[in-house]
Amino acid sequence: MIIYKGIGVSDGVAIGKVLKINSAYLNYPRIQLDSEDKIPLEIDRIKRAQKSVEEQLDNIMIHSADVLPEEINSVFSSYKMFIRDKNFVPAIEKKIETLQINAEWALIHVIAELEKKFGQIADPYIKARFDDIRQLGERFMNNLLQKPHLDLSQLKESVIIVCRDISPADSFHLSQAKLIGIVSELGGTTSHSSILARAMNIPAVVGVQNATMRILDDQKVILDGNLGEVIAEPDDETIKTKLDKKDRYNFYKNELKKLADHDCLLSDGFKVNLAANLDFISELSLINSLNIPSIGLIRTEFLFLIEESFPDEEQQYELYSKILKEINFKPITIRTWDVGGDKPTYAFPELANEINPALGLRAIRVCLKYQDIFRTQIRAILRASSLGEIKLMLPMITRIDEVIKAKSIIEEERLRMGIKTKNIKIGCMIETPASAIIVEDLLDLIDFVSIGSNDLIQYTLAVDRLNEHVADLFAPFHPAILMMLEKIVLSANRMNKYVSICGELAADPILQMLLLGIGEITFSMSPNHILQTKSILKKVDRATCKKIAFKFMTKHSYEENNQYVQQLREQYMDHF
């Protein structure tokens, strides 16, 4: 019996046989061309591979919009843009000509050179994007080798996937397979593997070093997503122990379902406001079944997957209307276009070559520069507001004038359309240090704020959350983060304005207790976390939350806070 350690990113226990997905780079032909006459043939092969890859991506984009989370889907657009980049296919063709080698070998040369270039980049955000290039290269290699794309839909038995990483395209095919668990060598809590596992409600462990080399096909393994363990060839006693844990976890999940019809209450009866994040349309049925009172964040960028240009007003209106109707006209929050950064689009090809996309032309900056696409979205939202209450949320705000300009555009469109609705509220994301510092000035102009915890931590601590080399520095309980959160909540409460928090942090029970001790706030999270939140928060009362908040706010280092977090997790979290 061998135990491999990694990072548990999706809870649960799975016991089954391994299906290993090897890299396309492991076995490829290396051929030195013996005649210049063969060069055009190899170049033609790479062009045909390019065409095939583009067609495959188009097909996946058409069929995956309602299947996969927006975080995964958004990568497809960047894939397609890079395929046409001068540093990719033209560079492969040049290698074929100058080195007189076959297309597969030339592809490996170019990928290796790109890896070297990306490795020299100091910015961790850009450096981490090489994983997407590597995965795209694997798809090219499979087409050159004429290997069929990953398709596990015909599997007769359930399996645990062991792989180096899961690409967005793989996610589409895997989401329809009989998977009971995922193990990957790469990735963190926000990687494609993690997102897919949580969406499928199966356990996952990522960051298992050399997993594809050490774990064998058809080998029996136990996957413990809670502990971040993969146990190969377990003995009978371990199997019994883990089966008992699996039974307990399944029983726990069934017990949680009983909370669906109940409000989220503290032990003293204080009501906690919960909302759902909507990442893909198929989650609407889950939101309904859990009786979640509102949608606190709708990411509208997934509309890009329908076609390569921005959707028109009618398409958007129909989608927003559909969401309102399917959740019985409960309140929703629509975030306006958050493009740029890691969400490039053909509409603005210049975004692909930004030196630092995370700090470049993105979100509200794009909307104010290209007002036609912003105005189209605003008109669709205004029309949909006739059906129910809509909070219109502006992303990536850093300055007062951005809000003033955006509000002016919204009002111009409202007057032009003659809409007299009271169902529209205007707010913004607080996801940068600048917006957190000027939050009171912002609240003078808007109706609500929502804390974007992922970016707020990333920008405040200068830590790329997707970079495994600095993952331990991504610290939600850093004193600087807690001081910002306290300021935002207290300012909104004092000014009698609605405040919420979305992102991964919104589902952390310890942070929930801390924020409830500070003031009133709504927690908007993946619907999969709603029932567990209800279960854990009913163990504490408001007075306990205030004591927890006081202790956190009087500590001066992340180390002290982290120790206290672990203590509270042992005390309040549900264990199996």
Q: What is the pTM of this model?
A: 0.71
Q: 420 or 570, which is more confident?
A: 570
What integer is the mean pLDDT of 159-173?
Answer: 71
What pLDDT score does 308 carry? 53
- Ordered by where they begin, the domains of the chain are 2-22+151-246 (3.50.30.10), 36-144 (1.10.274.10), 255-572 (3.20.20.60)
What pLDDT score does 474 carry? 84
- Residues with Cβ within 8 Å of 542's Cβ and at least 6 positions away in sequence, in order, are 266, 268, 270, 516, 517
What pLDDT score does 142 carry? 81
Residue 447 has pLDDT above 90, yes or no: yes
Q: Which of 370, 372, 428 is nearest to 401 (CA)?
A: 428
At 365, list the tokens. 């900056």
Does residue 173 carry a catalytic annotation?
A: no
- Residues with Cβ within 8 Å of 246's Cβ and at least 6 positions away in sequence, in order, are 12, 13, 14, 15
Could you say which of 192, 367, 428, 529 is catalytic? 192
Residue 305 has pLDDT above 60, yes or no: no
What integer is the mean pLDDT of 75-80?
Answer: 66
Residue 349 has pLDDT above 80, yes or no: no
Please tell me the least confidently modeled range out of 220-229, 291-300, 471-480.
Answer: 471-480
Does residue 192 carry a catalytic annotation?
A: yes
Could you say which of 163, 367, 502, 545 is catalytic? 502
Query: Cβ of 245: how many Cβ atoms within 10 Å?
Result: 18
What pLDDT score does 157 carry? 78
Give burial (CB, 10 Å; 0-12/13-18/19+) of 459. Answer: buried
Q: 9 or 494, which is more confident?
A: 494
H-type alpha helices, 100-177 = 103-119, 124-128, 130-144, 168-174
Per DSSP, 270 falls in state P
Q: Which of 147, 144, 124, 106 is nearest to 21 (CA)?
A: 147
